Each structure stands twice: as structure tokens, then as C-alpha cells.
A = this chain, B = another copy of it.
Amino acid sequence: MSEFELIQRYFSDRQSPAAHIPLSIGDDCALMSVSSGMQLAVSTDALVEGRHFFAGADARTLGHKSLAVNLSDLAAMGATPRAFTLALTLPDVREEWLANFSAGLFDLAAQFDCQLIGGDTTRGPLNICITVLGEIPDGLAHRRDAARPGDDIWISGSLGDARLALCCYLNQQTLSAADLELSSIRLHAPTPRVALGLALRGVARAAIDLSDGLSGDLAHILKRSKCGATVWCDALPIGAVLSQQSKSMQREFALVGGDDYELCFTAPCARRNDVLEAGRLTNTPVTRVGVIEAEPGCRYVDVDNKLLSLSLNSFDHFQ
């Protein structure tokens, strides 16, 4: 199968034309219309074998996850997904792998009406690079630098199950088959919180998607917003499987677990009911876990408001 047949069979022929994409796959560039009064939101994430997923990972879940982690970035900004490009570097052409990968990819893309508009296929060590494009009304993006002292800190969904599943695959933990299956869904098939991100437009101030663990990701908001925070560790929403583990593991995985793809966002306390309403409307649990403060640094406290001394290291690809 040639490169062009491959692209056609598994990628270009799988979509119907979209009004906002006057020119899609098959030219030097794709063309996209951006509505008046809207800004373009752009994010790029690559997934690398052995780093973001195990060698031999299931192709269908890989297709899902590659797009999901990118849509999660749009969700954090509050942007509507519009289109994406895919640069796929493959060691060889296995049709079964491609059929499954593209099925996982397009199932998720269709859910969010997000069109594949171009990309690239090359031979080499497996690497999946996606750039997503979304739209957001001027001035409404949830930027990391927008948190203000007094804001509530909120988390969508729950934390830590993805990390627990990972530890199980690495033989660092043991889980029942049912628990491993449940937590693996969180690791392999995260749900990008796009609907919540949209519902929070005009309600949330700052937001970030949790890919490297809450402590490190929240620190990005604090640094850019030039403020600090107190986080109530016992209020953190713990994943269903992780909640059966020890308290210390719950705290550790919730704070530095990584791969959660939940949203952490801040909102003025006057908007508390609006945040809860956004969660209800989008069927997304939202939990208040702390408060933004003027004093720099992040303080982790227990249910009695006692300062906890935690050693937290967020994930870093180069350390």
C-alpha cells in the first residue's frame, strides 16, 4: 500500500465535508474559516512509544488518547474544537493497526465535530503528533495568568486512577481484574472535558488541564498569575479505585499522579452556583478543593486545616 492509498483509506475517506473547512486533506495546506469575533486556539502534543504509552499498546485506545490529550488542552481554554492535523510516524504499515488506530481517532473526533484536515505519514519509530485548532470568542479564554486571590480552586471529575493503573502495569501495585479494568479506562481513554470548558466560559478565570499532576499543573497557574494557594488535600476528588488504597497513596497519586486529563480551574467565589450549574449541565462532577491567595507558594492542608509536609515531584520528560 502506498503512502497516498494509506492516507485515503484510513484517513481522508472517513469524514464528510464540513462547512468551516473549504479545503481539507490532499493539498499543500488545508483551509479553515474562523468566525468573526473568534480567536483561534492552537495546541500541539506528541505521543511517543515507550514514553507516553507501552510498546504494543492497543491501537484503538491509542487513536482515542492521542486526540483526547489535545482536545483536553482546548477544553482548558474553553475553546470549541474545530479541526486537527496528524503527523504519524510508523515503523511499518500494518493495516489492522491503522484500521484500529483510525477507528479510535475518528470515534472521538466525531463526538466533538473535530475534522482531520491534514498531516503527514512517515516511516520511523512510532510517534503520533497532533495539532488541534479551536475557536473561542475574543477575551473569553481561560488563561493560566487569570487567577486572582480569593478565587475558588475547582477540579473536574476525579484524580489518581490513571496513575494507579500505570503502577499496576509496571508491577508496582496489584489490583483485581475489575479494578484494573476500571482504572485503565482512565489511563487509556480519558474523556476530554470539552463540554465543561465551554460551559465555564465567562464563569471560570484561569484553567489548566491536568496532565502532569495537580501540584505541578496548579503551580503553572500560580506562577503565571503571580499568586499562591491553599489546597485542601482531604477535599480532593479521588478516583473510585484509588479511594480503596491508603490515604497517603491517595494524596500522592491525586497530587502528582499525572495523566488525569481533568480540568483545574479557578472562579470568583461569587460564581460558585454558576460553576455547579456548569457541572450539572454537562454531567461533569466539579469539586471545590482550595482557594487562591495573595501569598506566594502552595500550601497543602488536611481536613483540620493543618499544614502537611509533602514531597511532591511532578512529571518531567527530561528529569
Using CB atoms and an 8 Å cutoff, list the residues of chain A in contact with chain B.
Answer: 1-4, 6, 22-23, 26-34, 36, 39-46, 48-52, 72-74, 76-77, 79, 83, 85-87, 89, 93, 117-125, 127, 129, 131-134, 136, 138, 141, 143-145, 207-209, 224, 316-319
Separation in Å of the A146 CB from the closest CB of chain B? Answer: 10
Other-chain contact of A120, B30, B46, B49, B134 (Cβ < 8 Å): B46
Number of copies: 2
The reply to whether B317 and A122 form a contact with Cβ atoms under 8 Å apart is: yes
A-B residue pairs in contact (CB < 8 Å), sample of 14: A27-B143, A28-B77, A29-B43, A29-B134, A30-B42, A31-B41, A32-B42, A34-B34, A34-B40, A44-B131, A46-B87, A51-B123, A123-B317, A123-B318
- Contact (A93, B318) CB under 8 Å given A41-B29, A42-B83: yes
- Nearest B residue (CB) for A224: B26
- Nearest B residue (CB) for A197: B28
Q: Cα distance A4–B216 when bound, in Å?
A: 11
Q: Cα distance A50–B122 when bound, in Å?
A: 11
**What residues of chain B lie closer than 8 Å to A208, measured between beta carbons?**
28
The reply to whether B127 and A89 form a contact with Cβ atoms under 8 Å apart is: yes
**What residues of chain B lie closer than 8 Å to A121, measured between beta carbons?**
317-318
The reply to whether B122 and A46 form a contact with Cβ atoms under 8 Å apart is: yes
The reply to whether B26 and A42 form a contact with Cβ atoms under 8 Å apart is: no
The reply to whether B43 and A77 form a contact with Cβ atoms under 8 Å apart is: no
**What residues of chain B lie closer than 8 Å to A3, measured between beta carbons?**
316-319
- Nearest B residue (CB) for A319: B2
The reply to whether B93 and A27 form a contact with Cβ atoms under 8 Å apart is: no
